[in-house]
Protein backbone atom coordinates (compact mmCIF):
# COMPACT_ATOMS: atom_id res chain seq x y z
CA UNK A 1 0.00 0.00 0.00
CA UNK A 2 1.96 2.98 -1.18
CA UNK A 3 0.92 6.22 0.47
CA UNK A 4 -1.60 8.02 -1.67
CA UNK A 5 -2.62 11.64 -1.47
CA UNK A 6 -5.68 10.59 0.51
CA UNK A 7 -3.52 9.17 3.27
CA UNK A 8 -1.46 12.37 3.51
CA UNK A 9 -4.63 14.46 3.63
CA UNK A 10 -6.13 12.29 6.34
CA UNK A 11 -3.00 12.68 8.45
CA UNK A 12 -3.15 16.43 8.01
CA UNK A 13 -6.88 16.47 8.82
CA UNK A 14 -6.13 14.50 11.99
CA UNK A 15 -3.45 16.99 12.95
CA UNK A 16 -5.85 19.85 12.29
CA UNK A 17 -8.54 18.36 14.46
CA UNK A 18 -6.04 17.71 17.26
CA UNK A 19 -5.10 21.38 17.05
CA UNK A 20 -8.80 22.27 17.15
CA UNK A 21 -9.17 20.05 20.20
CA UNK A 22 -6.38 21.90 21.97
CA UNK A 23 -7.77 25.29 21.02
CA UNK A 24 -11.36 24.55 22.04
CA UNK A 25 -11.11 22.45 25.13
CA UNK A 26 -8.31 24.01 27.20
CA UNK A 27 -8.61 27.03 29.40
CA UNK A 28 -4.99 28.09 29.53
CA UNK A 29 -4.13 30.74 26.95
CA UNK A 30 -0.87 29.09 25.96
CA UNK A 31 -2.61 25.79 25.23
CA UNK A 32 -4.89 27.66 22.85
CA UNK A 33 -1.83 29.08 21.10
CA UNK A 34 -0.34 25.59 20.87
CA UNK A 35 -3.55 24.48 19.19
CA UNK A 36 -3.38 27.35 16.72
CA UNK A 37 0.22 26.47 15.83
CA UNK A 38 -0.78 22.86 15.24
CA UNK A 39 -3.60 23.92 12.93
CA UNK A 40 -1.25 26.12 10.91
CA UNK A 41 1.25 23.30 10.64
CA UNK A 42 -1.47 20.96 9.39
CA UNK A 43 -2.42 23.45 6.67
CA UNK A 44 1.24 23.65 5.62
CA UNK A 45 1.35 19.88 5.34
CA UNK A 46 -1.67 20.05 3.06
CA UNK A 47 0.07 22.50 0.76
CA UNK A 48 3.19 20.38 0.51
CA UNK A 49 1.17 17.22 -0.06
CA UNK A 50 -0.75 18.79 -2.93
CA UNK A 51 2.48 20.10 -4.41
CA UNK A 52 4.09 16.68 -4.27
CA UNK A 53 1.21 14.72 -5.74
CA UNK A 54 0.24 17.38 -8.21
CA UNK A 55 0.60 17.45 -11.93
CA UNK A 56 3.69 19.63 -12.19
CA UNK A 57 6.18 19.28 -9.32
CA UNK A 58 8.71 21.68 -10.84
CA UNK A 59 6.32 24.55 -10.24
CA UNK A 60 7.23 25.36 -6.65
CA UNK A 61 4.08 27.27 -5.72
CA UNK A 62 3.06 24.90 -2.92
CA UNK A 63 6.52 25.01 -1.41
CA UNK A 64 6.65 28.82 -1.56
CA UNK A 65 3.28 29.19 0.13
CA UNK A 66 4.42 26.80 2.87
CA UNK A 67 7.62 28.79 3.42
CA UNK A 68 5.75 32.08 3.69
CA UNK A 69 3.19 30.45 5.94
CA UNK A 70 5.92 29.25 8.32
CA UNK A 71 7.33 32.77 8.50
CA UNK A 72 3.90 34.24 9.21
CA UNK A 73 3.18 31.59 11.83
CA UNK A 74 6.38 32.56 13.65
CA UNK A 75 5.35 36.22 13.63
CA UNK A 76 1.87 35.34 14.87
CA UNK A 77 3.26 33.17 17.65
CA UNK A 78 5.53 35.99 18.78
CA UNK A 79 2.73 38.54 18.93
CA UNK A 80 0.29 36.07 20.49
CA UNK A 81 2.71 35.16 23.25
CA UNK A 82 3.50 38.82 23.87
CA UNK A 83 -0.24 39.36 24.29
CA UNK A 84 -0.42 36.49 26.79
CA UNK A 85 2.41 38.01 28.81
CA UNK A 86 0.82 41.47 28.74
CA UNK A 87 -2.56 40.07 29.83
CA UNK A 88 -0.90 38.07 32.61
CA UNK A 89 0.85 41.16 33.86
CA UNK A 90 -2.42 43.04 34.09
CA UNK A 91 -4.92 40.43 35.24
CA UNK A 92 -2.49 37.96 36.92
CA UNK A 93 -4.26 35.06 35.26
CA UNK A 94 -3.92 32.99 32.11
CA UNK A 95 -7.35 31.40 32.39
CA UNK A 96 -9.31 32.69 29.40
CA UNK A 97 -12.59 32.22 31.30
CA UNK A 98 -11.56 35.03 33.64
CA UNK A 99 -11.03 37.49 30.79
CA UNK A 100 -14.66 38.51 30.45
CA UNK A 101 -14.81 42.19 31.24
CA UNK A 102 -16.16 43.08 27.80
CA UNK A 103 -18.91 40.46 28.06
CA UNK A 104 -22.59 41.13 27.81
Partner 1 sequence: MNTAAFIFIAVFTLAGALAAACLRKLIHAALCLVVAFLGLAAFYFLLGAEFVGLVQVFVYVGAVAVLIVFTILLTRREDEDAAGFNWSGVIVAVAVFAGLAWTILKTPSLAIIPAAIEPLTIKRIGEVLMTNYVWPLQCVGLLLTAALIGALVLVMEEKR
Q: Which residues 65-104 are close enough to bind partner 1 by CB under 8 A?
A: 66-68, 70-79, 81-86, 88, 92-95, 97-98
Q: How far apart are CA 45 and CA 1, in angstroms?
A: 21
Q: Which of 44, 47, 29 is nearest to 88 (CA)?
A: 29
Q: Identify whether the C-beta of residue 94 lies closer than 8 Å to the C-beta of residue 87.
A: yes
How many residues touch partner 1 (CB under 8 A)?
A: 73
Q: How far is the CB of 103 from partner 1 (least distance, A)?
A: 17
Site string for partner 1, 25-64 (x = CB under 8 A): xxxx-xx-xxx-xx--x--xx--xx-xxx---xx-x--xx
Amino acid sequence: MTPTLQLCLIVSAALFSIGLLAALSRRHAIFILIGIELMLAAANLNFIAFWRFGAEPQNPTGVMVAIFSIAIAAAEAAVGLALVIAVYRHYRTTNVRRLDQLKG
